[in-house]
Amino acid sequence: WTFDWNFVTSRPTCDWNSRRLAVDGRTFQLGTSCNSAGRVTAVHIPGSQLEGTLMSEIALLTHLRFLALNNNQITGTLPVQLSQLSGLDYLAFHWNALDGQLPTWIGQFQELRVLGLGNNQFTGSIPFEYQLLTNLVTLGLDDNLLTGNLDNVQDLRNLKRLYLEDNIFVDTMDVSFMAGLVRLEELDLSDNDITGTLSLHMFNYDSLSILDLHGNNIRGQFPSIIPENHNLTFMSLHNNLIGGTISPQLSNLKALSHMDLAFNNFTGPIPAEIGTMSNLRYLFLAGLNLNSGVVPPWIGQLSNMRDLSLKQTNRNGPIPEFFGSMTNLVLLDLDGNDLSGSIPSNLGLLRRLGYLLLNRNNRLSGSIPESIQRLTSLGMYCPFVEKASVNCRLISIEQCAEILLVDRTSLSGNLNTLCSQGGEPKIIGSDCEGSNPEVTCVCCTICCDDSQSSESCLDRVYLGQLDPIWENSYQRRFYQFSPDVIYGNE
């Protein structure tokens, strides 16, 4: 074990534990916990590299209410003997390597409030018996190999958090879809095979703050009327088939901080009403066949903006000077447009900027400003580890790299200054190849010859890595599986 917490020692069983400080300053207990009669009521051993199959003897702990062995390397199936633990209200085995079908006997746990089985290798469908889990508050079955429809979770009226993403579920969104889950706060159905159209009731939940439906086959158009909503903060719809125009009434989502509509079938203009959404920090419109035009000037009003992607949205004209005043920007993605003119030197004022993607804008010209080359903080700022250290396991070396893509433009200059800077490794792409290269760069990861139409310099491999990196920053991968869900905040 990484942490043994005095297990299998001469100390009393109720002392096989240790207290830890949570991110929010509160403490919680790891190991065992007991009631006043000395009976073990909780076993909490996360992230200790436990290996092998689960012992059926755990079922002898008949007073157990809390069992969490998440983030380990446990294999095999859940032993049927665990069905004897009828008093459980918290069961978490997410982030292991369990397989087989979801146990039907879990449906007997009438007191269960948290069930976390995500990030395993479970197959089959959600058992009919799970309809009986009427006290469930949090259900996580994400990142498995589950199939079938979602009928057996649609009437769990106490459910607040439902995570079913990254499976093979097939279902149809209509006016009744998830309508019975009236207390929902977080809903993640991304990367499944949900079809149908986006229904108005998805914006009518009283408490829903997270709506992640990306990577499905949702079609049709946005609802024509979107009611005023002060709860929804995160909405991701990218990689669907939603069409029509982008509704100006999206501005009624007053609390929205993250809006991702990328890679759908939207057409028409970018509605100016988005400029009134003062809480927006993340806006992704990439890959939309929108009306051609300049970068809308109202974007400069979004002073909290951190990540902005207008990749392949038919933007033309110059790169606006107002970007230099958007000091919170970490990502600025203008790739694949028809922008012209030079790079504004005031982009060098963006000290938090980690990703500047100007590639595939053939009419960008002039010298690359020295101010861009002096942005040494690009390589130092890692926006993906601002939160709890538990997220660090998702970080790869390239996630904290400096990203500058200016290849397949008419820009010129010397980028060797960036090569000599310290910090994390950099990914730099420019037109630095050929007999008469436009850019000098001895450390460029991507070198293109702008005089040739060559597929060899395409940077799909790098952009393919970046897209899920950005996505991982916003997905709720560790969710609400803290003991406080039951014992503190519920």
Are residues 184 and 333 part of one domain?
A: no
pLDDT of residue 482: 54
Does residue 48 come out as left (phi exceeding 0), alpha (psi in the -120 to 50 range) or beta? Answer: alpha
pLDDT of residue 490: 41
- Given 153, 188, 223, the domain boundary residue is 188
What is the C-alpha to C-alpha distance for residues 270 and 245, in angstroms, rounded to an integer? 8
SS3 at position 313? coil
Please check whether residue 242 lies inside any domain of the structure.
no
What is the helix (H) or strand (E) element at residue 371, kind and residue range?
helix 370-373
Using alpha carbons, select from 102, 100, 159, 168 the residue that is nearest to residue 135.
159
Please check whether residue 259 lies inside any domain of the structure.
no
The domain spanning residue 175 has which CATH number? 3.80.10.10
Are residues 307 and 178 part of one domain?
A: no
- Given 127, 160, 188, the domain boundary residue is 188
Q: Partners of 439 in the beta sheet?
A: 413
Residues 112, 133 contacting (CB under 8 angstroms): yes
pLDDT in tens, the chain (490 residues): 566 666 666 677 787 777 764 555 556 678 888 889 989 999 988 888 889 999 999 999 999 999 999 989 999 999 999 999 999 999 999 999 999 999 999 999 999 999 999 999 999 999 999 999 999 999 999 999 999 999 999 999 999 999 999 999 999 999 999 999 999 999 999 999 999 999 999 999 999 999 999 999 999 999 889 999 999 999 999 999 999 999 999 999 999 999 999 999 999 999 999 999 999 999 999 999 999 999 999 999 999 999 999 999 999 999 999 999 999 998 899 999 999 999 999 998 888 888 888 988 999 999 988 888 766 544 333 333 333 222 222 223 233 446 788 888 888 888 887 776 665 557 788 888 888 888 888 887 778 876 665 554 655 545 555 555 555 455 544 445 555 443 434 4
Please check whether residue 87 lies inside any domain of the structure.
yes
Q: What is the pTM of this model?
A: 0.89
Sequence-distant (6+) residues with CB within 8 A of 140 are 94, 115, 116, 117, 118, 161, 163, 479, 481
Please check whether residue 193 lies inside any domain of the structure.
no
pLDDT of residue 57: 92
pLDDT of residue 175: 93
pLDDT of residue 20: 62
Total tally of structural domains belonging to the chain? 2
Which residue's entry shows tokens 């060797």?
416
pLDDT of residue 174: 94
Residues 48, 1 contacting (CB under 8 angstroms): yes
- Given 161, 188, 215, the domain boundary residue is 188
CA of 461: how far to CAs of 151, 264, 415, 448, 490, in Å?
Answer: 39, 22, 22, 14, 45
Other CB atoms within 10 A of residue 178 CB: 22
pLDDT of residue 29: 75
- Token pair for residue 303? 């002073």
Domain hosting residue 328, numbered range: 292-474
What is the C-alpha to C-alpha distance for residues 177 and 70, in angstroms, rounded to an integer? 30
Are residues 152 and 20 part of one domain?
A: yes
Give first-to-last CA distance, the chain, whole Å.
Answer: 32
Sequence-distant (6+) residues with CB within 8 A of 321 are 344, 346
State the Cα torsion 188-192-197-199 to the nearest 10°.
Answer: -20
What is the C-alpha to C-alpha distance for residues 148 and 124, in angstroms, rounded to an integer? 7
Which residue's entry shows tokens 């919680």?
28
The domain spanning residue 386 has which CATH number? 3.80.10
Residue type, 42: A
